[in-house]
Amino acid sequence: MGMTITEKILSRHADLDRVRPGMLINAKVDIALGNDITAPIAIDVFRKAGAKKVFDRSRIVLVPDHFAPNKDIASAEQCKIMRDFAGEQQISHYFEVGEAGVEHALLPEKGIVVPGDLVIGADSHTCTYGALGAFATGGGSTDLAAAMMTGELWFKVPETMKLVYHGKLRPWVGGKDLILHTIGRIGVDGALYRAMEFTGETVADLTMADRLTMANMAVEAGGKNGIFIPDAVTEAYVKERAERPYTFYDSDPDAVYHSVLEFDVSRIEPQVSFPHLPSNAKGISTVGDVRIDQSIIGSCTNGRLEDLRVAASILKGRHVAPGFRLIIIPATPTVYRQAMQEGLFDVFLDAGGVISLPTCGPCLGGYMGILAQGERSVATTNRNFVGRMGHPGSEVYLAGPAVAAATAVAGRLAGPEQL
């Protein structure tokens, strides 16, 4: 009996010939990731445990992205703890402001995570790296501390759900729409502690940006990880970036799955997830007349160059609605520079938007776009829980960059075809 790609990666890192769902294993970690919220806690645990040195200074990644550049004294203290630790331990992958970007956009871009890796991050959206054919999952700060000390962690091998996408995408539909529709179908606990394996002929034609978006939101369905079988698209993306040798794994034809779900993407239109759950997904043609105050285009989910290009193609020659706020947040300095060089910034500024430095910012209610009571934002971020972007009485509507841009022009929920 064969194994899935997730099971193969876990068995290799546990030095086992095979694993099965439900097994408890101890596995070697390739990359351990922390940010300015979670790393300081892990560092405290690391010190209290009496540890002196990290297991491998080249395998620890520290990125100040949630409240950096520092928005207040508290965030400055958090970043200082991480900065000092990185200096003390000579961490080779510490990214200071100017080099740092949103962590889950930065690591693939830099080639730090490669296919076949096992990645643990003290951030739930670490599952993003499954787009590269890696096993990547979020954990707590104590997990990060243990990984920094030993280079190992224990895991329970998850069952795998196979999600098969068929057909041709409709105009303006991308990875964000596919994953919102998927979560809407299975629910926020529909993949609880399972691997979500994305496959099918539609997936084979998706860009890496779309794949990263889909893997990023696996956790919003309760998934342990999201993962794609690496292919030519993967190879083209990683071959010029990878810092280390990598391995392409796939799933055996006789691998056993918890379930198999199929999707006809030709029936999926641009999606919007209504408050206060990502699973409240609706097609744009069914949303009705919903007034919106703000659009956020950015985050680890949709802050890549491809996302900004989509938004700019809609905003070019148009202007945001009166009294509307459009905030563009390139996910990394590289994305920022490329967007600027391509003239996308001129489009955004001419449309009445504002361009932020790379940061997580408003996604977690940090800064750069916090909502007041009664306000509504459409956002290309990944969560729309109560109070996620500000006041508990505010509302967040999740969408892709096309809908977020069109909404900015209309002042209400809208898709590009409605302009």
Q: pLDDT tens for residues 127-143? A: 999 999 999 999 999 99
Q: Is the pLDDT of residue 365 over 90?
A: no
Q: Do the domain assignments include residue 419?
A: no
- Checking if the pLDDT of 297 tops 90, the result is yes
- Of the pLDDT bands very low, low, confident and very high (cuts 50, 70, 90), residue 311 is very high
Residue 121 belongs to what H/E stretch?
Answer: strand 118-121
Same domain assignment for residues 123 and 206: yes
What is the reported pLDDT for 314? 97
Pair (255, 342) in one structural domain: no
Is the same domain home to 101 and 184?
Answer: yes
**Co-location of 281 and 242 in the same domain:** no
Q: For residue 401, give both structure tokens.
A: 């960059």
- Same domain? For 253 and 277 the reply is no
- What pLDDT, on the 0 to 100 scale, is given for residue 177? 98
364 has pLDDT over 90: no
| Domain end (from 229, 263, 297) | 263
Question: Are residues 150 and 218 located together in one domain of the fold?
Answer: yes
Claim to verify: residue 79 and residue 146 sit in the same structural domain: yes
The CATH number assigned to the domain holding 388 equals: 3.30.499.10
268 belongs to a structural domain: no
At 1 the pLDDT is: 82
14 with 44, same domain?
yes
What per-residue confidence (pLDDT) applies to 366?
A: 87
Give the pLDDT of residue 229: 97
Count of domains for the chain: 2
Mean pLDDT calculated for residue range 15-41? 96
pLDDT of residue 339: 97
| Per-residue pLDDT at 257 exceeds 90 | yes
Instruction: For residue 31, give both structure tokens.
Output: 């990359």
Residues 304, 216 within the same domain: no
Domain shared by 117 and 249, yes or no: yes
Residue ending a domain, among 222, 237, 263, is: 263
Structural contact between residues 105 and 123, judged by C-beta atoms closer than 8 angstroms: no
Query: For residues 365 and 349, is the Cβ–Cβ distance under 8 A?
Result: no
N- to C-terminal Cα distance for the chain? 53
Mean pLDDT calculated for residue range 348-377? 94
Q: Which residues form the domain of 406?
A: 273-414
Q: What is the mean pLDDT of residues 6-18?
A: 97
Predicted structure pTM score: 0.94
Mean pLDDT of the residues in the chain: 96
Quick one: which of 258, 261, 253 has its CA closest to 1?
253
Whether residues 25 and 122 share a domain: the answer is yes
Supply the pLDDT for residue 206: 96
Residue 12 phi, psi dihedral angles, 5° rounding: -60, -45
Locate 382 and state its tokens.
């990944």
